[in-house]
Chain A
Amino acid sequence: MSGSRERILGRVRAALADVPAAERPDDVAVPRDYAAAHGGGERVALFAERVADYRAVVHRVPADGLAEALARALARRGARRVAVPADLPGDWLAAADAVAVPDGALPVAELDAVDGVVTGCAVAIAETGTIVLDAGAAQGRRVLTLVPDYHLCVVRADQVVDAVPQALPRLDPRRPLTWISGPSATSDIELDRVEGVHGPRTLEVVITE
């Protein structure tokens, strides 16, 4: 296999015979005069609006109203057992009737059997209505937010950035990232967008500020 490595690199170098030997990658200019953000109005309001555009359910609550909001959401959903990351802040579900099932290494079948999952996030992007999970604080491993059919996600206002270019520097590429923009969807059948194929079919977002 190392033979192919040398062969491919050799072919690449031969193919690039027209590139001057002294040229360095950075000598190829990249114009960066695109905008850092596109000014869509107040950041948190824009985020809420754009998430809702994907037919996700969105709430804005004061920070001290979080436990109440989560309890209401879970009750509305009829969720009785919800998976949570092991480090979910203890007070988040203090008011909820639902039983929290903390993830250590829950088997997938177990995750398939719970009524939903509650997590935080790492970053949120207003312009695109995107939530990014990085498996860090209050998020757990990736499978936790994948197998349950209902994802209730908490976003703090200070986690919301304007646009994609502000999100990347806040994220560590060495961590596994999941960017979520609305519930799972497909447009494969006559281009009708249908929510929900394999990922959570319902996404509910609570923004605290």
Chain B
Amino acid sequence: MDFSLTDEQQLIVETTRRFVQSEIVPLEDHLDPDAGALEPQDYDRLVEKTQTMGFYGLDIPEEYGGPGLDTTTRALMAIEMSQHRAGLYNPCYGVFGGAGLAQLYEATDTQKEQWLYPTLRGEKKGCFALTEPSGGSDPARAIQTRGFKDGAEWVLTGSKLYISGADKADYALIFARTSDDPGRNGVTAFIVDTDTPGFHVRRVVHTLRATHYATELQFDEMRVPEENILGEVNGGFAIANDRLSRQRIPYAAGCIGPAIQAQEMAIDWAKSRETFGSPLAEKQAIQWMIVDNEIDIRHARYCVLEAAQKADSGERFRTEAAMAKLVATEASSRVVDRCIQIHGGVGVTKDLPLERWYRELRIRRVGEGPSEVQRLIMARDILGGSFK
């Protein structure tokens, strides 16, 4: 595969890198090390800049007014946009805009008017509520939230766990079991306004990620109109699954940025810090850590770009996307871990971003399908004979 960048991609990468280094990194010097948002005036100023650059709403498809980036260019940008302290879960603090929940592009025109377009205009926020206390790796079997038809409405009862952003959301995409089928054919997706009676955000779930926390939801006989069903009754799982596969590529790419930054920091540190009469960079143990980092970073980058190129060329990319997610999350975790080791004491302090990346990268190996599930996806494809 040819991983060389086109002139346009090179320009986009360089512009994004400059933006991150000149606009985002200096602001972080004044923020709490665990901050999840910029000051409102900084946010507004930078949104104006990304709009002028023509990069606002990166993930919005072209026909909806987005810049229409291909997956490869989007992945390259994700690698750049995550190269700052909050970059893993909040690349550039959202100043490049969001695209809303990908599933809403499959919605009816009326549903788009109600939820998608206001989201694209920044007037509404949504959350994605799939995982339940009974499990998230195998949601098709684990979902216990029930939906019963009652006249023109559906009545939803149950709970969800680890749902990001539900406390600030105007609507939730909720997956509920609506038939006796215990697997993927019995699940329906509902778009539910969060002010619907019976919708409760019960608590914040505190994790290694201090901002963008998760929440626990409870639904008490929540009445939802039939027209809020997204897609077909009992066809919701395909919608959930589709989103998860598509998002694996930028999700994986976003893990590489902190690894690159950590490696640059470790190289600088190793060259300047002396122990036993010489710089760390002259010790073979340190050199090997730096080399292992480089191997991990390049491996992750190749996997991400391979998956992205397959997606762009219309080929099947499920195995490649799963491999990119697995490799990028695990390799970047190892890189940041080694960089902390090279830094010694200062590596574990909140004076540097390493400790935040270390904590947050740990979540990446569980979220959006744990490593074992990525292996399961690849094994199915490989053993199923599609890996030729």
Decide if A and B are genuine partners: no
